[in-house]
């Protein structure tokens, strides 16, 4: 009995360790998944959320979906796909969206027709202009990671992931520093495109508005596949979800949403044709239930906020009652669904449907720059004069203020933001509490004390306020 189970264990160990002997690309472990005959999925790494490239053999040739952010990898992938499918007649490349980690290797398929949503090109142009900044950031990041690894301070369970990230970042940087040129899509579409490849059809549906303005769903009915790009996953296979980390409405326009709903609805109605949902990164999985739940959530958000904007209702009041916990309890804690993402969705949609200018949206991009203080002062003055023109929430003002105070360490800017918070919400105990913290950080304890006391007048149950009042009184008496 003992011997038999020992033998079984040895056999198991032998099988379990087999994938370790698999091939590698640039020292990184490579994975090939055969989804079904004529369909393969390839990616690198065991930890980092890297792009999974899919390839499907058709009568007209091989159709590849997505490239990575390292063309060198795509060159290796192309060879592996050809080997796995037993042919080399590459015909089409389809990009699921315009993010760098889905289009940077397009040049490897320059001999193919490259198909994508019409918004992909603009995203690629922006991203290529941004290469010097990305390279600089990446260089700093690599240096930091190397130092951390050398210091031995990284926890044992994080070491392998950090080493993998370092190897991938190094390859990305090599590419960024090689003066790369973009290879744009050669055929684009807006709402829907059908690609007939003889025995296999590819139905491409516009689905922008959550992840980027260029996302598409790709339905391959003959293979029972729906490729969903980076829009969503309802299970993460590694602890770095990467692009799949947030499902939120954040990039579309009022014209895009009806198309997104229509296309998504059409795919739900064809659920019997879909055997497998394929996210754009290897470490995400998606079920029909997850796909449906996210659709119902999006649909509810769109119609409820459109109705609110039309009725001229109070957004802040609406948002207070429209929580994930109360309205969508089944989605609480589901991968990619967060309170912040939910609030981002509500705010973005309200802005789209009300036509008002978002305070936080206006400031985006100027944080950390020298121009911020002046820009914010002008915005604040205009906002206080024309309150109806703008749209803001308590969550916005708190978030912006604490971002300035804690992340950017811009105490004066944070105080100015919290002052505006108090001006716009004079009955908010949290506004006074936040402004108090600003002054306390700056070192004006007397002012901080007065503000904490005001906050406690409005909300005697403010525990943070009580704690600070006791602490400041003690400090002032010393
Ligand atoms: Zn993405």
Q: State what percent of residues in the chain have pLDDT above 70.
A: 95
- Cα 246 from Cα 96, distance rounded (Å): 17
Q: Write a three-state SS string for the chain.
A: CHHHHHHHHHHHHHHHHHHHHCCEECCEEEEEEEEECCEEEEEECCCCCCECEEEEEECCEEEEECCCCCHHHHHHHHHHHHHHHCCCCEEEEECCCCCHHHHCCHHHHCCCEEEEECCHHHHHHHHHHCHHHHHHHHHHHHHHHHHHHHHCCCCHHHHHHHHHHHHHHHHHHHHHCCCCCCCCCCEEECCEEEEECCCCEEEEEECCCCCCCCCEEEEEHHHCEEEEECCCCCEECCCCCHHHHCCCCCCCCCCHHHHHHHHHHHHHHCHHHCCEEEECECCEEECHHHHHHHHHHHHHHHHHHHHHHHHCCCHHHHHHHCCHHHHCHHHCCCCCCCHHHHHHHHHHHHHHHHCCEEHHHHHCCCCCCCCHHHHHHHHHHHHHHCHHHEECCHHHHHHHHHHHHHHCCCHHHHHHHHHHHHHHCCCCHHHHHHHHHHHHHHCCHHHHHHHHHHHHHHCCCCHHHHHHHHHHHHHHHC
- Confidence category of residue 22, pLDDT binned at 50, 70, 90: low
- Cα 164 from Cα 363, distance rounded (Å): 35
Instruction: Please give the pLDDT value at position 292.
Output: 97
The CA–CA distances, whole Å, from 4 to 11, 12, 13, 15, 18 equal: 11, 12, 14, 17, 21
pLDDT tops 60 at residue 13: no
Q: How close is the Cα of 97 to the center of ligand 1, in Å?
A: 7
Q: How close is the Cα of 344 to the center of ligand 1, in Å?
A: 18
Q: How close is the Cα of 215 to the center of ligand 1, in Å?
A: 9
Instruction: Report residue 413 as tokens.
Output: 């800017």
Encode pLDDT of 156-201 as tens digits: 888 999 999 999 999 999 999 999 999 999 999 999 999 999 999 9
Q: How close is the Cα of 242 to the center of ligand 1, in Å?
A: 9
The CA–CA distances, whole Å, from 20 to 80, 81, 261, 294, 470 equal: 17, 20, 43, 36, 59
Q: How close is the Cα of 65 to the center of ligand 1, in Å?
A: 13
Average the pLDDT over each of 3-7, 250-254, 360-364, 368-372 and give the range with the smallest value: 3-7
Q: What is the mean pLDDT of residues 299-306?
A: 96
Instruction: Please give the pLDDT value at position 172.
Output: 96
Higher-pLDDT residue of 367, 142? 142
Residues with CB under 5 A from ligand 1 (ion): 99, 230, 243
- Confidence category of residue 362, pLDDT binned at 50, 70, 90: confident
Encode pLDDT of 375-431 as tens digits: 999 999 999 999 989 988 888 899 999 999 999 999 999 999 999 999 999 999 999
Q: How close is the Cα of 135 to the center of ligand 1, in Å?
A: 19
- Confidence category of residue 324, pLDDT binned at 50, 70, 90: very high
- Cα 345 from Cα 327, distance rounded (Å): 14
Q: How close is the Cα of 51 to the center of ligand 1, in Å?
A: 9
Average the pLDDT over each of 57-66, 238-247, 279-288 and give the range with the smallest value: 238-247
Instruction: Please give the pLDDT value at position 251.
Output: 85
Other Cβ atoms less than 10 A from the Cβ of 229: the count is 28
Q: How close is the Cα of 474 to the center of ligand 1, in Å?
A: 51
Largest CA distance in the chain: 85
- Cα 250 from Cα 341, distance rounded (Å): 9
pLDDT tops 70 at residue 14: no
Q: How close is the Cα of 118 to the center of ligand 1, in Å?
A: 16
- Cα 370 from Cα 362, distance rounded (Å): 16
Higher-pLDDT residue of 217, 241? 217
Q: Give this prediction's pTM.
A: 0.82
Q: How close is the Cα of 244 to the center of ligand 1, in Å?
A: 8
Instruction: Report residue 71 as tokens.
Output: 């063309």
The CA–CA distances, whole Å, from 269 to 265, 326, 352 equal: 6, 28, 28
Q: How close is the Cα of 99 to the center of ligand 1, in Å?
A: 5
Q: How close is the Cα of 39 to the center of ligand 1, in Å?
A: 22
Q: How close is the Cα of 50 to the center of ligand 1, in Å?
A: 10
Residue found by looking up tokens 């506004």 in the block: 431
Q: How close is the Cα of 180 to the center of ligand 1, in Å?
A: 20
Q: How close is the Cα of 164 to the center of ligand 1, in Å?
A: 20
Q: How close is the Cα of 102 to the center of ligand 1, in Å?
A: 7
Q: State what percent of residues in the chain have pLDDT above 90.
A: 79
Q: How close is the Cα of 231 to the center of ligand 1, in Å?
A: 8
- Cα 270 from Cα 241, distance rounded (Å): 28
CA–chain centroid gap for 258, Å, is: 22
- Cα 210 from Cα 299, distance rounded (Å): 12
**Beta-strand relationship, 187-189 and 113-117:** parallel
Encode pLDDT of 81-119 as tens digits: 999 999 999 999 999 999 999 999 999 999 999 999 999
Q: How close is the Cα of 101 to the center of ligand 1, in Å?
A: 7
Q: What is the mean pLDDT of residues 436-465?
A: 96
- Cα 461 from Cα 474, distance rounded (Å): 21
Instruction: Please give the pLDDT value at position 82.
Output: 97
Q: Exposure pattern of 69-95 as b/e (b: 16+ CB <10 Å)?
A: bbbbbbebbbebbeebbeeeebbbbbb
Other Cβ atoms less than 10 A from the Cβ of 6: the count is 10
Residue found by looking up tokens 């090109």 in the block: 121
Q: How close is the Cα of 280 to the center of ligand 1, in Å?
A: 8
The CA–CA distances, whole Å, from 360 to 113, 139, 426 equal: 40, 30, 19
pLDDT tops 80 at residue 7: no
Q: Write a three-state SS string for 219-241.
A: EEHHHCEEEEECCCCCEECCCCC
Q: How close is the Cα of 121 to the center of ligand 1, in Å?
A: 15
Q: How close is the Cα of 66 to the center of ligand 1, in Å?
A: 11
Encode pLDDT of 251-265 as tens digits: 888 888 999 999 999
């Amino acid at each position: 009995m003992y011997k038999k189970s020992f033998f079984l264990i040895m056999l198991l160990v032998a099988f379990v360790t087999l994938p370790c002997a698999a091939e590698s690309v640039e020292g990184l472990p490579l994975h090939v998944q055969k989804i079904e005959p004529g369909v393969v999925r390839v990616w690198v790494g065991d930890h980092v959320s890297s792009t999974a490239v899919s390839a499907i053999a058709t009568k007209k040739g091989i159709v590849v979906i997505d490239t990575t952010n390292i063309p060198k990898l795509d060159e290796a992938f192309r060879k592996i796909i050809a080997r796995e499918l037993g042919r080399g007649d590459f015909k089409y490349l389809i990009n699921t969206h315009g993010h760098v980690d889905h289009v940077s290797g397009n040049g490897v398929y320059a001999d193919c027709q490259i198909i994508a949503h019409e918004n992909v090109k603009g995203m690629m142009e922006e991203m290529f202009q941004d290469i010097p900044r990305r390279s600089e950031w990446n260089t700093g990041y690599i240096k930091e990671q190397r130092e951390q690894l050398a210091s031995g301070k990284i926890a044992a369970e994080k070491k392998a992931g950090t080493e993998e990230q370092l190897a991938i970042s190094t390859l990305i940087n090599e590419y960024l520093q090689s003066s790369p040129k973009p290879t744009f899509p050669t055929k684009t579409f807006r709402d829907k495109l059908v690609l007939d490849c003889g025995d296999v059809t590819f139905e491409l549906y516009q689905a922008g508005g959550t992840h980027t303005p260029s996302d598409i769903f790709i339905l391959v009915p003959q293979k029972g596949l729906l490729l969903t790009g980076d829009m969503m996953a309802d299970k993460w296979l590694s602890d770095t979800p990467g692009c799949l980390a947030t499902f939120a409405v954040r990039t579309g326009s009022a014209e895009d949403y009806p198309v997104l709903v229509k296309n998504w609805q059409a795919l739900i109605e064809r659920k019997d044709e879909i055997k497998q949902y394929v996210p754009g990164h290897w470490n995400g999985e998606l079920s029909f239930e997850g796909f449906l739940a996210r659709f119902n959530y999006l649909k509810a958000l769109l119609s409820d906020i459109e109705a609110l904007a039309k009725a001229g209702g109070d957004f802040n009041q609406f948002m207070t009652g429209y929580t994930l916990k109360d309205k969508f309890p089944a989605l609480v804690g589901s991968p990619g669904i967060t309170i912040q993402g939910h609030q981002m969705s509500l705010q973005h949609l309200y802005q789209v449907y009300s036509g008002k200018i978002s305070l936080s949206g206006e400031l985006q991009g100027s944080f950390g720059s020298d121009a911020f203080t002046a820009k914010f002062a002008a915005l604040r003055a205009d906002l206080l004069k024309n309150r109806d023109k703008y749209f803001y929430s308590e969550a916005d003002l708190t978030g912006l203020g604490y971002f300035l105070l804690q992340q950017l360490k811009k105490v004066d800017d944070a105080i100015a933001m919290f002052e505006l918070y108090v001006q716009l919400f004079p009955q908010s105990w949290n506004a006074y509490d936040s402004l108090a913290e600003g002054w306390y950080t700056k070192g004006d304890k007397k002012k901080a004390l007065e503000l904490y006391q005001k906050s406690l007048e409005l909300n005697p149950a403010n525990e943070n306020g009580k704690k600070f009042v006791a602490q400041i009184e003690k400090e002032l008496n010393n």
